Amino acid sequence: MVSGKLEIIFGFILIFSFGILHGSNDILLINSITTKKEKYSFFKVLVTYLLTVLSAVIIFYFFPLVGLILFIMLSAYHFGEQHWEGKLSNISKIVKDIYYLIYGLLLLHLLFILNTDDVIEVVFSISGYTISKDLIIYSFAFNCFVFISLTTFFFLKFSSFQKTIIIELFLLLIFAIIFKVSTLIWGFTIYFVFWHSIPSLFEQVTFIYGAFNKKNVSSYCLKAIPYWLLSLIGILIVYFIFKEEKIFYAIFFSFIAAVTFPHALIINKMFINKKTQPK
């Protein structure tokens, strides 16, 4: 058995490698998404991106509870969209968006309800508020009700959904087992890296270059390295300043949240653009 401390170390290594890497090429994605008539200068794109990150940092600093709620909601939608994009057909956009959010929240709720003590500690370190276990349980129950209701509706209405959902429910069971036997960080890492970041890298490379192969992956990584290194330097500086304090976890999650805000919006734009491209 791997100790809790080793799980956290391995978790951070994977998050700082594949996890951060998959969001390091957002500026390249912006240039790939925009048409020739819409092309913006690198400086303008960079400033807009940094202002978005800065806005997220300011929200977390002055309104930590609001920032945390926004982070959870946006991350949930982002996870659900990445996972279900292309698997739901003949369904209106607003219903798809709701399902993306509910599915992502269900994944996070599974992680939270199976690691309640750690979640309560992290939320307190970020926001200064102590949430109760009852709140986690009740919100999980409500989330399950909405998910089951929508899933049942899709199952009865769309035959193409029936085979897909059987596989997805099995995966949810696997996630639940992993989250149960893991620490909060390690459980999140396994999902975030292997079920989210790596598939997202595949989607991004294919979208930018037209195909997923060694040459295109190398090109993607080379262009992402400067931004990836800047992210690592930033979080390392934070670690050496706050490594003896619990506040490090708060700043770590705040850092991830700040980067997630623009990344989730850009990936959403990528999927929309992908649908409008001629095949």
Tokens read off for 237:
């500086």
Predicted local distance difference test score (pLDDT) of residue 67: 84
Nearest to 101 by CA among 82, 85, 78, 83: 78
Residue percentage of the chain with pLDDT more than 70: 85
| Predicted confidence (pLDDT) per residue in 160-198, tens digit | 888 889 999 999 999 999 999 888 888 888 898 888 888
Is 142 or 87 the better-scoring residue by pLDDT?
142
pLDDT for 37 equals 45
pLDDT digits (tens, 9 = 90+) for 217-235: 999 888 888 878 877 777 7
Whether residue 120 has pLDDT greater than 60: yes
